[in-house]
Structure 1
Amino acid sequence: MIIVAGHLTVAAEDRSAYLDSCRDVVAQARSAPGCIEYSLGADLLEPDRINVLEMWTTRSALDAFRGDGPGDDLAARILAIDVGEFECDRP
């Protein structure tokens, strides 16, 4: 299993709109083959932080969904990314 976890930084005043614009991406990810979990959410303490959690059955499933990454419109709104990928065996 591949776990993707970390956070994005966006302008605090844009966070709510950014998350709203990600609804279709979350729905697409959750229906993609190999997706176990896909979640983006507002951090409870930092107004410019969006927490990221993804779980995928295989690297190929993650790569097939991700393609080239977020569209230019979303990518331009991200100020910083601190996200890692981790492999683990699921019990």
Structure 2
Amino acid sequence: MIIIAGKLYVDAAARDAYLAGCSKVIEQARAAPGCLDFALSADMIEANRINVYERWETDEDLERFRGAGPEPEQAAQIRDAAVSRYRISGVEAP
């Protein structure tokens, strides 16, 4: 299992519009083969932060969906980012 998690920073005044522009991508990701979860959300504390969480069955599923990455218009709005890929070898119930 692969988890992509982290944060993006955009201008605070543009965050809601940025997220609204991502709704189609979120729908496509959740419908993609191998996608177990996909979420982008506004941070409750930092007005310019977007939290990223994705969970995929395999690297191949992720790469097939990901393609080239965000659209150029969206990429231009990102001021900073810290997103990492985690390879999970097992899952346990809490």
State the TM-score bracket (shorter-chain normalisation): over 0.9
Q: Which digits, 9 at most, give the CA deviation of each residue in 1:38-91, with x for residues without a partner?
A: 000000000000000000000000000000100101101111110000000233
Q: Which residue of 2 aligns with 1:33?
A: 33
Q: Return the TM-score normalized by structure 2.
A: 0.95
Count how many residue pairs are aligned between Structure 1 and Structure 2. Answer: 91
Q: Which digits, 9 at most, give the CA deviation of each residue in 1:26-45, with x for residues without a partner?
A: 00000000000000000000
Question: Pairwise CA RMSD of aligned residues?
Answer: 0.6
Greater fraction strand: 1
Structure 1 runs (4+) deviating above 4 angstroms are none
Q: Return the TM-score normalized by structure 1.
A: 0.98
Q: Which residue of 2 aligns with 1:47?
A: 47
Tell me, what secondary structure is at the counterpart of 2:86?
strand
Q: Which residue of 1 aligns with 2:63?
A: 63
